[in-house]
Amino acid sequence: MTAPTRCASAPCSGHAPMPETRSEDRSDHVVLVGDIGGTYARFALARNGRLLDTPQRAERAAFPDLASACRAHLSAHAGGLRIDGAAIAAAGRVQDGRIAMTNADWAVEPAALAAELGLRERRVRVLNDFGALAWSLPTLAADELLPVSGGGAARAGRSAPVADPSGHRVVVGPGSGLGVAALLRTAQGWQPLATEGGHASAAPETELEQAAVALATARFGRASWERLLSGPGLALLHEAACLQADRPAPTGGAAAALEACTRGDAPALRAARAFVELLGAFAGDLALLFDATGGIVIGGGIVPRIAAVLPLDGLRTRFEAKGRFAGWLETVPVGVLASPFAALRGAAVAYRG
């Protein structure tokens, strides 16, 4: 096999050192970077904060554990290169240096992975998947973010809001679950902050949203934002919309709801509109919490699929509907992430330090 060619990723520069001190120079290390979600596992090779090859995606359930997935990628794509380290981002909270994934049965443990791959344990970095996305934010090119239009600026005929390049930023993404992270500007540079904000209590406003919250509460004891803003959450909203229309509860989950949207199905479209409006409301709260003058980035695979059949102006409207702070929120840009592999780039930056 031939060695990987370098991809056209934007340079990863202008980042602060990681909080812990590292004595070795990692700039020449060839690193396996991974982004492990509930549904898919994505991998690439990286050096000095840049991806070296085209990222690959595989179904996570096709492998019994993380090490097996890593070995399969290296066997197919390393091309004889010596691998010096690994940086693995996964959907879950980093606790005691490891991640027990929230929506999957995998554990991500540096010591075990290092032993399986023949690496030094100190060269295996584990981080939250949205923490990795936060690391990637300063590297995004303009065409990797699709602006969400509408809102007060559009109604007043003003130009679209522009991000403060030194302002705090937030990334939020509905997928198998709901991830939230911030990238904070400090005196030392950029500092990522992974959170479990998706597990905060949801705040429904409309009749449909309240019906979905009632369903979630009856089944799970409470309704977090993740119960509504995720693949299962879209399915729950679809179910609530069908029940309100005196139709049988749908089957097939989020995929069925999205497919029904493409056919113009009224309850499915109501559910999708409710989804983007709830996401706007939640994103507006996050902008207020983090003073996110640098903008809000929406990741995950659900919103782009909804955007293919519905405008996202309802997201912007609910984002700004915060009473006395509506005018300030009109100045905060919101964009949909168009790169499915940004977390891999972020993991590469985090490893480099």
The full set of domain ranges for the chain reads 30-137+341-352, 161-332
Please tell me the distance from the alpha carbon of residue 350 to that of residue 94, in angstroms, as a whole number.
14
Tell me how crowded residue 75 is: count the other CB atoms within 10 A of its CB.
9
Which CATH number does the domain 161-332 belong to among 2.120.10.90, 3.40.367.20, 3.30.420.40, 3.40.50.970? 3.40.367.20
pTM assigned to the model: 0.87
How many angstroms separate the CA atoms of 251 and 284, rounded?
31
* Full pLDDT tens readout for the chain, 353 residues: 333 333 333 333 333 334 444 567 888 899 999 999 888 999 999 999 999 999 999 999 999 999 999 999 999 999 889 999 999 999 888 998 899 887 788 989 999 999 999 999 999 999 999 999 999 999 999 899 999 998 887 888 888 899 999 999 999 999 989 999 999 999 999 999 999 999 999 999 999 999 999 999 999 999 999 999 999 999 999 999 999 999 999 999 999 999 999 999 999 999 999 999 999 999 999 999 999 999 999 999 999 999 999 999 999 999 999 999 999 999 999 999 999 899 999 999 999 87
Rounded CA separation 253/231 (Å): 7
Q: Note the CATH architecture for domain 30-137+341-352.
A: 2-Layer Sandwich (3.30)
Largest CA distance in the chain: 65
**What long-range pairs does 140-144 form, CB within 8 A, spacing at least 24?**
140/10, 140/297, 140/337, 140/339, 140/342, 141/10, 143/338, 144/337, 144/338, 144/339, 144/342
Here the tokens at position 311 are 């405008």
Nearby residues of 172 by Cβ (< 8 Å), 6 or more positions away: 130, 178, 179, 180, 197, 279, 282, 283, 286, 296, 297, 298, 299
d(CA 129, CA 89) in angstroms, rounded, equals: 4
From residue 207, alpha-carbon distances to 203, 210, 213, 284 in Å are 12, 5, 10, 20
- Give counts: helices (H), strands (E), the chain: 13, 15
